[in-house]
Amino acid sequence: MRYSFENGRCGCDSGVANSAEWGYVNAAQDIIRSLQHDSITDFVQLRNWLDNMGGIEADKQIIESYLTEKNTQDALSLLDMLPGLYELEGDQLDAYDEYYDLINLQINLMNENRTILELTNQEQSDLLAITESTDPQNRATAKNILKFAYGYEEYECQYISDPNTMKAKEFGIHDMGNAYGMAISVVPNPAATWAQFNYTLPNDATGGILVISDITGKSLETMEVQGNQGSKLWDTRKLPKGVYIYTLTSGSFSETGKIVISR
């Protein structure tokens, strides 16, 4: 199922954005964030706005909204359309294939009434492969699932096939990111209304991506970070109480931690 507006998707067809167009885009993004954080989300309205925004990232959010409603049919229909819609090839197609596997993992768990604590050996192996992805979102999602459910650490990993013995065990010897100056912390933790992430990127890196996920590995927010050091503020007011996972990725390094939302 696709959504459209009479005036089409917002954007810059001419390739040159004027201030009015960018103002509309920013306003639309604010509306989308507001809809996503509502205690009772109007998913039809959310999908309308996302479709009007356009782009593969918006379509991915539409897919996630279908999955939230357990509408796997429309989620898979849109998922199958992405390569053709965006003429994906090369690295982009490889990233799509990994994303396809992650979505199908969610659907399989949903259909079989399993959690991420009950992954099969093959599913764990598939996720380990995705932790080597060049796509930061796919990589972070796979790492978040394995870290939370099976104590995964990302370097010099040793695969243990028994899911019962994997839980709470460490795969890696140490985190190479720390050795290169990478660090991230969050205050306050637990958080009630807001949280501030303070980060340092490795060596002279000046850019990275901060991904915040729930405990199922579902990405809730992605923020770009700029500058070798800095901070990012996260609004937590409308999030349910619970544990969330954050992952900072810069180049081939990443740091993961947990934040508790309480009231």
Structural domain includes residue 101:
no
Domain boundary residue, one of 87, 120, 141: 87
Strand partners, 186: 197
- For the chain, give the longest Cα–Cα distance: 57
Task: Check whether the bond before 202 is cis (ω within 30° of 0).
Answer: no
| Integer-rounded Cα radius of gyration of the chain | 19
Query: Residue 46's pLDDT is what?
Result: 81
Domain endpoint, select from 87, 116, 140: 87
The pLDDT score that the predictor gives to residue 26 is 52
Q: Residue 260: enclosing H or E segment and its boundaries?
A: strand 253-261
Domain that holds residue 249: 177-263
Where residue 186 sits, what CATH number does that domain have?
A: 2.60.40.1930
Residue where a domain stops, chosen among 39, 72, 87: 87
Query: What pLDDT score does 74 carry?
Result: 95
Q: What is the pTM of this model?
A: 0.54
Residue of 77, 133, 64, 130 whose CA lies nearest to 103? 64
Q: For the chain (length 263 residues), average pLDDT per consecutive 10?
A: 38 44 49 49 79 87 86 95 95 95 92 86 88 88 80 46 38 45 84 88 87 85 90 87 88 85 77
pLDDT of residue 89: 94
How many domains is the chain partitioned into structurally? 2
